[in-house]
Amino acid sequence: MLIVVLILLCCSSQTLGEILSAAVMYYSDTRGLLTIDPPHARTGFTIGIKGSCALPELIIQVRNKSAGLPSRQVSCRLNGRRGFDITYLLKDGIGDYEVIIFGKKAIRDRSLKGLCTFAVRSDREMPKSFKGLYINDQIVASVKSMIGKRVGSGECWDLVQEVLDINGADWGHPLNFGELLDPDKDLIKTGDIIQFKAVTLVEKFPSGAVKHQTIGAPDHTAVIIGVAGTKIYRLAEQNSDGKRFVITSTVNCNAIISGTYRIYRPVAGIINTE
């Protein structure tokens, strides 16, 4: 006992937090579905989550209670494995975080089963220069591999959900796809997500031809895979032009006469620490 007391006296409060484990509370009827190693009660800007799960997909919701911010959400697909060891990136600053882990009985299942919850304290903000925050390159590679294929039920949202989830993106369902951008000020990149809301375009060409187009009834979501000019984007999309598989198209947002659109930059939830 004396040795333990001496060790504790020599430790800083932060070090003690790193030694002490968070209390993990499992929900009822979860026996055999999930076990996790209790994470450290205090952390920096990442949380290590390690354990074993009998379900094919986990959904991890994280919320900074101190800041009163909405929950972020990330998918962890186990791809036939039971064991997992992931690092979640905290992006909402210093504070007390609530973490809830849900499970799915099948990939892309809409129903979630609560498995466990715990709380941690973050004492360090994510550096603004953190290189692993944006995952545009991964999003582009994934969506290009899906061109010509049907994803999920063939809805436009299914495609975007798939490319975000398989790449460990952190996003808020249904339509908060990442960091909101301003097309008038920010540099739009391939891999960004574009969301249309009841958009009507009228585009006039030098030949005299006029193109009328409606996008979103009321909503339509796509991935930008090319930037041809200011507000001119090459898209990968699904459930467009009557096609319930992934196609490519070009949209000139300068020609919008009604409706709105938003562009988001996908951000990492699960990061590779290797």
Alpha carbons 42 and 130: distance in angstroms, whole number: 20
Alpha carbons 236 and 256: distance in angstroms, whole number: 19
Alpha carbons 56 and 62: distance in angstroms, whole number: 20
- Measured on CA atoms in the order 104, 108, 112, 118, is the torsion positive or negative? positive
Which residue is listed with tokens 């060790």? 7
Alpha carbons 70 and 73: distance in angstroms, whole number: 10
What does the pLDDT look like over 142-151, one tens digit per residue? 999 999 999 9
Q: Which two tokens stand for residue 221?
A: 């979501």
Give the predicted TM-score (pTM) of the model: 0.88
Assess whether the region 18-122 and the region 136-271 belong to the same CATH fold.
no
Q: Which CATH number fits domain 136-271: 1.10.3470, 3.90.660, 1.10.1060, 3.90.1720?
A: 3.90.1720
Domain 18-122 bears CATH identifier 3.40.50.2300: no
- Mean of the pLDDT values across residues 255-265? 97
Helices marked H in the chain — which ranges?
2-9, 13-19, 136-144, 156-166
For the chain, the domains span 18-122, 136-271
What does the pLDDT look like over 223-243, one tens digit per residue? 999 999 999 999 999 999 899
What does the pLDDT look like over 10-37, one tens digit per residue? 444 445 445 689 999 999 988 899 999 9
Alpha carbons 190 and 134: distance in angstroms, whole number: 12
What does the pLDDT look like over 176-214, one tens digit per residue? 999 999 999 999 999 999 999 999 999 998 999 999 999
Residue 166 phi/psi, 5-degree rounding, is -70, -15
What does the pLDDT look like over 65-94, one tens digit per residue? 998 888 999 999 998 899 999 999 999 999
